[in-house]
Structure 1
Amino acid sequence: MQTRSGSRYTKPQSEVEGWEGRKESERKRRRGQVTEDFSGKQRRCSSPAVEGGGSQKPDFLDGLPDDIVVCILCKLSSSAACPSHLINILLTCKRLNGLGLHPLVLSKASTKSLAVRAKNWSESAHRFLKQCADAGNLEACYILGMIRFYCLQNRGSGAALMARAAIGSHAAALYSLAVIQFNGSGGSKNDKDLRAGVALCARAAFLGHVDALRELGHCLQDGYGVRRNVAEGRRFLVQANARELAAVLSSTRWPPAEAAAMPIGCCPLLSDFGWSVPAPEPHPANRFLVEWLRARGGGAGEGLRLCSHGECGRPETRRHEFRRCSVCGMVNYCSRACQALDWKLAHKAKCTPMDRWLLDGGAAAAEIAAAGEYGAAAVGGDGGGME
């Protein structure tokens, strides 16, 4: 009589060997099976413990599905504080290298993780930024666009990348395109489009860009590319100064000691130059331009000048593209925003009228009034205009 389990009776040797052979073949098949992840790539699953004879500890990363790993890498790339945080992940292993370059991960990369320095610029860095831009990262589009337009002399491709970022409502890209339109950068003086520059500035100002707010305010005050409206322009300037002050107060403990020294009835927010707050941290794109041109002798080319604001880095693309200070004529600016920042930081203590203007004030005043697109009226009584 045979029990249900059959434990009291021994099985034939051939049946036992056949069963064990089938189990061994199934184990080998499971150990070497090929799986396909969500990106369409085939990957062979193997266990280090089995391959190494059981001496190694199992790698728990192999047990995580690719979509979970990609989700983790997206969180990491969006919070990375420097490029090395993301690059070190790519150098860890072959699997993380492949998943770290997934378009979803690259599209979430933070601004600081894309802050390539000029001294580290190489073909691989260019390719990495291009991959991020192709993945839809707006910051990468803007940074690479600025580098190509101003550093690599590739005007068309650089402007196209900045335009792609601007379409995605990237405020800095909108403002940079406005500066290009105001100056006619990359073309002749006749290529200036003031109305397009004002429209781009207005869009960037709507998104809260401080420099765009200040630029739009001056355009309205001077009637530059738009119908003149002094009151509305003044409102934009006050809003720019208020946003600038709020950004500093929210980021650091800045005691407004200058407020006690202000005379009664004086409000810095009503000045076009606002409070004497610390300079904002430059964008990685502007920092790259400064380092790039400094490493090449600090010049943009024969007869070409740089924007005198030390943290801008924009060079002229043709001679006499930028406007100079109407008081001293010694400094040049790509925009009113750069003039305002440089006035507070350095130029206020250095700006003195030229001798020819001191000797012939009436003729100089007439010349100033007729020169330059911005006009030469002193900005709120706090500094010279640009001609």
Structure 2
Amino acid sequence: MFERKKRTRTCSHERSDLFDSLPDDIVISILCKLSSSSRSPSDFITIFLTCKRLNQLGLNPLVLSKAGSETFAIRAKNWSENSHRFLKQCVVAGNIEASYTLGMIRFYCLQNRGSGASLMAKAAIRSHAPSLYSLAVIQFNGSGGSKTDKDLRAGVALCARAAYLGHVDALRELGHCLQDGYGARKNVTQGRRLLIQANAREFASSLRAAAPPSLHHLVTWQLQNHQQRNRPLTGNNNPSPDSGCPLLSDFGCNLPSREVHPANRFLAEWFGARESDPGLRMCSHSGCGRPETRRNEFRRCSACGTVNYCSRGCQAQDWKVRHKLECTPMAMDQWVEAVDGEDQDGGGDRIAEVEGGVGGASE
């Protein structure tokens, strides 16, 4: 019995010596893999609690730069100065997900508009699609400023870049802009084609999420074939502007909701637990969390007038998940009262946007 205990202590000591003998480069490489695959902040924090050496190497800039978005999925109720400091460390290390997350928190939650927009721009320069799309939403709405600060052309340009990188909501927003001539030259056919592509990508991503890994290549192949079939045609073979597609979630196809980015979850929790200015509304899409930065900033539903959205991407998501079951057209006298209320709040010049907005009836 004594010899067995002695042998166990010896083996444990040898394993400890083996870990200590590993070069720092190998340990850092392992930590990079762990940080990039963490499913929650607690997974990453566990590394620091393991031993003193991992605590030190876990804060290596290379490890912090590889951390994934779920590593920064901090709950709003747990927000503290330590959380802020950790995100800043990751930003300094060059982590674009940290730049985007901290930028969203500063812009909307901490109301540090300049710093927040700067951090998102820092990530956007490195082709981070969510940052590009968020900056586009800010440009479309003139968030953080007055209505005259809207820059529709800049919003379209940012959407185009994000759409090129595969951002579905940006692709849908760009399609609506072209279809309606909003910030770009009107091109109904091209806009409809982009809407079809956006919904095809959304449909394929839903299939990939539900299908086993062995079938992912089949889903990708089907998506590529669908996109090839919907390339713009020339001559008299151009599809009509009213041509539809069975994959269009905008037109009633029920698709599972996409996973919400940790930054948007943080915003939803932050403003859901706090009393905000009663004159400022939040985006009605539950997966967004963006609040208005001034009164009457967001568009309202053109049918019922009871919901409002920061973008068409949020409108499309909320329509298929919830609002199409609840939307009831508002009576004319109610619309008059609503418009009069906006006039008193300084939003009378938003009538055209309300009437031509993103209502469920138009879907």
TM-score interval, normalised by the smaller of the two chains:
0.7 to 0.9
Mapped contact 1:238–1:272 kept (Cα < 8 A): no
Q: Structure 1 358/153 Cα, relative in aligned 2: closer, same or farther at 3 Å? A: closer
Q: 91-100 or 137-146: which moved more?
A: 91-100
Match of 1:208 in 2: 166
Match of 1:93 in 2: 51
Q: Structure 1 358/119 Cα, relative in aligned 2: closer, same or farther at 3 Å? A: closer
Distance (Å, rounded) in 2 between the aligned partners of 1:378 and 1:82: 35
1:269: how far off? Answer: 3.0
Does 1:219 pair with 2:190? no
What aligned pairs does 1:242-281 form with structure 2 within 5 A after superposition? 242-253=200-211, 267-269=245-247, 272-273=250-251, 275-281=253-259
1:72: how far off? Answer: 1.1
Mapped contact 1:175–1:204 kept (Cα < 8 A): yes
1:348: how far off? Answer: 0.9
Q: 74-83 or 146-155: which moved more?
A: 74-83
Identity across the alignment (%) = 68
Mapped contact 2:299–2:357 kept (Cα < 8 A): no
Q: 300-309 or 99-108: which moved more?
A: 300-309
Distance (Å, rounded) in 2 between the aligned partners of 1:237 and 1:375: 21
Q: Structure 1 338/357 Cα, relative in aligned 2: closer, same or farther at 3 Å? A: farther
Does 1:316 pair with 2:292? yes
1:60: how far off? Answer: 2.1
Does 1:332 pair with 2:312? no
Structure 1 unmatched runs, 5+: 1-53, 255-264, 361-369
Distance (Å, rounded) in 2 between the aligned partners of 1:307 and 1:227: 27
* Higher Rg of the two aligned structures: 1
1:359: how far off? Answer: 10
Does 1:63 pair with 2:43? no
Q: Structure 1 55/211 Cα, relative in aligned 2: closer, same or farther at 3 Å? A: closer
Match of 1:103 in 2: 61
Q: 1:289 aligns with which of 249, 267, 286?
A: 267
Match of 1:118 in 2: 76
Distance (Å, rounded) in 2 between the aligned partners of 1:122 and 1:193: 34
1:302: how far off? Answer: 3.6
Mapped contact 2:74–2:262 kept (Cα < 8 A): yes
Does 1:376 pair with 2:356? yes
Give 2:281's aligned amino acid: R
Distance (Å, rounded) in 1 between the aligned partners of 2:35 and 2:358: 46
Distance (Å, rounded) in 2 between the aligned partners of 1:311 and 1:302: 21
Please report the TM-score for the alignment, with normalisation by the length of structure 1. Answer: 0.75
Q: 2:331 aligns with which of 333, 336, 355?
A: 355
Match of 2:192 in 1: 234
Residues 3-57 of structure 1: CA deviation (Å, up to 9, x unaligned): xxxxxxxxxxxxxxxxxxxxxxxxxxxxxxxxxxxxxxxxxxxxxxxxxxx9955
Mapped contact 1:323–1:372 kept (Cα < 8 A): no
Please report the TM-score for the alignment, with normalisation by the length of structure 2. Answer: 0.80
Residues 285-339 of structure 1: CA deviation (Å, up to 9, x unaligned): 1000011111114xx3241000011111000000111111111111111011111
Structure 2 unmatched runs, 5+: 1-10, 213-242, 337-349
Mapped contact 2:299–2:358 kept (Cα < 8 A): no
Give 2:250's aligned amino acid: D
Root-mean-square deviation (Å): 2.7
Mapped contact 1:83–1:116 kept (Cα < 8 A): yes
Give 2:192's aligned amino acid: R
1:340: how far off? Answer: 1.0
Residues 74-101 of structure 1: CA deviation (Å, up to 9, x unaligned): 1111111211121111122222111110
1:275: how far off? Answer: 2.2
Give 2:183's aligned amino acid: G
Match of 2:344 in 1: none
Q: How many pairs does the alignment contain?
A: 312
Distance (Å, rounded) in 2 between the aligned partners of 1:232 and 1:374: 25
Match of 1:154 in 2: 112
Give 1:142's aligned amino acid: Y
* Larger RCO (CA within 8 A; separation ≥ 6): 2
Mapped contact 2:249–2:320 kept (Cα < 8 A): no
Distance (Å, rounded) in 2 between the aligned partners of 1:138 and 1:111: 9
Does 1:186 pair with 2:164? no
